[in-house]
Chains A and B, each alone.
Chain A
Amino acid sequence: MKTWAIVLSALFATWTLTGVTAAHARGADDDIIMEEDDTSKPAEDTPTDATDPSATDATDPAATDATDPAATESTDAAAAVADDEKSLKKGDDEDARSYWSDIKVVPRKLILKQNRVELIPYMGVTLNDNLIRHIAFGGEFGYYMSDAMSIGVGGHMYTKQQTDRAYLTGLQQRVLPTLNQYLYTATLNVNYEAAYGKFAVHNKKILQWGIFLSGGLGVTGTEVIPRNAAHEPWTNMNITIQVGAGFRVFINQWLTLWGGVRNYMMQDKFENSNRTQPEADIGEKNAAARFINNIVFQVGVSVFFPTSFEYTTFK
């Protein structure tokens, strides 16, 4: 008799507890999933002022990322501050602006880079020579002094492909072009991440990305392609200034997709158009110097080491 009483009490407690926990779960969901609230109604009822910063401001608290783990808590915060915003709107606009001035556009970065090293294997293609195209294979190694700035060393080797135009120039205009092929480039680089943001793919998956600026100094090796096959080629080593920009899309805490366009500028030496002597040293002595912009489009992946890190600040 006593046992059956315990059984009945326990079952009752089970059902009750189940209901309570489920209700609690629903309540928690309600907190997280923002249902349509009053903040949307003015926006739908009244046309948005073209000069209204709240219509486009990327710091808009109403635009919250529900599936972004880093932003989950900020959703709660956003719900709270949405109410605050209502009250602020009644008050002084200037106060409201100062209230938001310290809110970061991205709540939490997917990758913190300070004191980490980055290894970037990449391949590239030269863009701005109509007569000869180079495919580049190389890599870059960088150390982040801060979350935005890194120093490093990078370099690549080239393989050449002469284009149809190089052949056609001889055929159509009866001119043999003067060409050098690139052999290698190596530079010391400083990179600065100038812009940072995130985007949603089909409003389902959020990816974070950044834009970096790059500058550097190094050398580029080139080799003359003689117009006359009987003439000897020679090689040049040119001081090179590098400027460029690129982007990266963050995949996880240690991997990004990486791409950029870099201009390797140098003073190169070409075969003189009046060359008659086959010897390389004579050809080099009479070489024609010209300033070259070697623009290279590069794509690759970047890997950060150590592969994990811990956030040290609040979300």
Chain B
Amino acid sequence: MKKLLHFLLFVSILGTTVSAYAVERGDPLQGQPAVRKRVLYLPARFEVTPSLGVSFLQDYRHTFLVGAKAEYHLNDYLSFGFSAHFSPVSMNTGLTDEIQATLPGQLEDDTWVNPTPSKDAMMDALNEIKLVMGPHITYTPAFGKMGLFSTVFFNFDVYFFGGLGIVMFEAGDLTPYTDTPDEYRQAVTAGNAGQKLHLLVQEENGGMRFGPQAGIGFHFYLNSWMAINAEFRWMYIKRNAAGFDRNGDRVYEFIESEGMTRDWVIVDSADESWENTMFFHFGLSMFFPQFAPRSN
């Protein structure tokens, strides 16, 4: 009986001790932040990022951009802002050069039979990106640090953003290369019809276009208020980049002097299609106020 009592007492002591220790000890890292004493680059700071950009995977014209982004960071992971970039210069893509090299120098004599555009007509029909802008909301889920070749060290963060994309296109101009039914009638009467594309441009392929935008970006911090900013921006915009018809809609006109019916292909907004429009931006982010506190 005494041995049993001693055994129970021992078990009781052991159980009480271990359980109490476990409750008190726990995991000391449970619920703790991953990084302490870190520089808080974002919360309650205003960011201005002048940047250069270039379009990506454009069909006909590469666009170079100059502009800026303004952003206010509500806290460590959420911000909102607006970006606007202007395109002062653009250049042909490889596809444009190839097409242009294949096309004839001038329109064919009988454009009813062979409506192949000339080099100039093809180039003048293209629309070009002139302005890219839009408001966005940014989510910054991750930050970190990195060593480059074990010699240069940066703090960085990665963010995702989404919002409304606005693109302003400069319209192409096919007017010198096309005729209307009335102009054709007059030309036939005057005996100088020919070498015109029979396109009825009812709507230009320029102006503002709206669509969603989204992207991913990085800040590589140089100090407490400056960072190199790299950003990939995707927009989904409806446009007619080539400036020609794509759906085959047309109008039919009876040409009295020829005694036959001719058809004019219509170029309008129905020839637009939703296209991926993508950009890379590289800029210098400046944060205000310049002082960045540290976390506890």
A residues with CB within 8 A of B: 3, 6-7, 10-11, 13-14, 17-18, 21-22, 25-26, 28-29, 32-36, 39-40, 43-44, 47-48, 50-52, 55-60, 62-68, 72, 104-106, 127-128, 130-131, 164-165, 168-169, 171-175, 177-178, 194-207, 209, 211, 273
Q: Which residue from A28, A29, A40, A194 sits with its C-beta under 8 Å from B37?
A: A40
Q: How far is the CB of B248 from chain A (nearest CB, A)?
A: 8
A18-B21, A130-B93 known; A63 vs B35 contact (CB < 8 Å) = yes
Residues facing A in B1-56 (CB within 8 A) are 2, 5-6, 9, 12-13, 16-17, 20-21, 24-26, 28-29, 32-39
Chain A residue nearest to B125 in the complex (CB): A172
Instruction: Evaluate contact between A174 and B13: CB separation under 8 angstroms.
Output: no
A40-B296, A55-B223, A56-B39 known; A164 vs B34 contact (CB < 8 Å) = no
Instruction: Evaluate contact between B142 and A200: CB separation under 8 angstroms.
Output: yes
Residues from chain A with a CB closer than 8 A to the CB of B105 are: none
The 6 closest A-B pairs by CB, nearest first: A199-B144, A197-B146, A58-B153, A22-B24, A62-B37, A58-B145
Instruction: Evaluate contact between B102 and A175: CB separation under 8 angstroms.
Output: yes
- Report 29 cross-chain contacts, Cβ distance below 8 Å, ordered by A residue: A3-B2, A7-B9, A21-B20, A21-B21, A50-B224, A50-B226, A55-B223, A64-B35, A65-B34, A104-B150, A105-B146, A105-B150, A106-B147, A168-B242, A168-B246, A171-B245, A172-B245, A174-B116, A195-B147, A195-B148, A196-B147, A199-B143, A199-B158, A200-B143, A200-B144, A201-B142, A203-B35, A204-B34, A207-B142
In the complex, A40 Cα to B37 Cα: how many Å? 7
In the complex, A276 Cα to B143 Cα: how many Å? 60
B residues with CB within 8 A of A: 2, 5-6, 9, 12-13, 16-17, 20-21, 24-26, 28-29, 32-39, 57, 59, 76-77, 93, 95, 98-99, 102-103, 114-117, 122, 141-150, 153-158, 221-226, 242, 244-246, 273, 290-294, 296
Residues from chain A with a CB closer than 8 A to the CB of B99 are: 169, 173, 175
A175-B99, A200-B142 known; A55 vs B17 contact (CB < 8 Å) = no
In the complex, A127 Cα to B294 Cα: how many Å? 42
Residues from chain B with a CB closer than 8 A to the CB of A35 are: 296
Q: Which residue from B9, B98, B114, B116 sits with its C-beta under 8 Å from A177?
A: B98
A7-B9, A175-B99, A194-B149 known; A47 vs B21 contact (CB < 8 Å) = no
Chain A residue nearest to B98 in the complex (CB): A177
Instruction: Evaluate contact between B9 and A26: CB separation under 8 angstroms.
Output: no
Instruction: Evaluate contact between B37 and A51: CB separation under 8 angstroms.
Output: no
Instruction: Evaluate contact between A66 and B144: CB separation under 8 angstroms.
Output: no
In the complex, A314 Cα to B277 Cα: how many Å? 50
Chain B residue nearest to A171 in the complex (CB): B246
In the complex, A33 Cα to B95 Cα: how many Å? 60
Q: How far is the CB of B135 from chain A (nearest CB, A)?
A: 25
Residues from chain B with a CB closer than 8 A to the CB of A33 are: 28-29, 32
In the complex, A106 Cα to B35 Cα: how many Å? 13
Residues from chain B with a CB closer than 8 A to the CB of A56 are: 39, 154-155, 221-224
